[in-house]
Amino acid sequence: MVFTLADVTIVLPAFNAETTLGDTLKSLEPSMAEGMSLILVDDASTDQTPQIMTQFADRWKTVRFMPMEKNVGAGVARNIAMDAVNTPLMTFIDGDDWVGESYYKNLVRRFSDFPDLDFVRSHFIECYGTQRGVRRAAFPFCDVPFDPKLGILPDERTTLVKPMCGRACIRQNF
């Protein structure tokens, strides 16, 4: 099967992210133009976050806005939104992240290249003010499929199981 961006839903939870959310959403526009879906979850923000989200949702037919009545935290907001995903692939991004124009295309292409994959992880650039640095995936394999059990290491070593879900694209039915 050949996957395209129309086969992917991004889940984006945010709480009081008005200062960064606009840049995040702008970075998603190239992927949105190719049919990618997006679920925006406002986690009961008290700033302009819900207005920014609804303005973006009004511009794209594949965007769904989900406001939370009370603040539940990013993890719970992601889990609630996951129930609404109706594409074969999903990924996550936070309201203070941004992605390059071909980022999602490159992740999705791997599912077409390797039909048995359940998830794809990537490196990313971490930015703090003017400081930037590449954060590499914690496992030495790159651009090749491997048995995920190999990524379960002793507690004293970094594993694949890190709390950074934004660097992955996941098959829904794995």
Mean pLDDT of the chain: 83
CA angle centred on 32, ends 118 and 60, rounded to 5°:
125
Closest CA to 66 of 9, 22, 108, 107: 9
Residue 160: band (very low, low, confident or very high) from pLDDT cuts 50, 70, 90: very low
Residue 6: band (very low, low, confident or very high) from pLDDT cuts 50, 70, 90: very high
In this prediction, residues 123-138 reach a mean pLDDT of 59
Residue 68: band (very low, low, confident or very high) from pLDDT cuts 50, 70, 90: very high
Residue 99: band (very low, low, confident or very high) from pLDDT cuts 50, 70, 90: confident
pLDDT for residue 97 is more than 90: no
The predicted structure's pLDDT at residue 85: 96
Q: Distance between CA 27 and CA 125 in Å, rounded?
A: 14
Q: Residue 14, SS3?
A: strand
The proportion of the chain whose per-residue pLDDT surpasses 70, expressed as a percent, equals 72
Phi, psi of 86 (to 5 degrees): -125, 25
The predicted structure's pLDDT at residue 10: 96
Q: Distance between CA 41 and CA 100 in Å, rounded?
A: 22
Q: How far is CA 48 from CA 31, 67, 85, in A?
A: 24, 13, 25
pLDDT for residue 11 is more than 80: yes
The predicted structure's pLDDT at residue 161: 46
Residue 146: band (very low, low, confident or very high) from pLDDT cuts 50, 70, 90: low
Domains and CATH numbers, the chain: 5-121+166-171 (3.90.550.10)
Q: Residue 166, SS3?
A: helix
Beta bridge partners of 64: 39
* Pairing assessment for the beta strands 89-92 and 63-67 based on DSSP bridges: unpaired
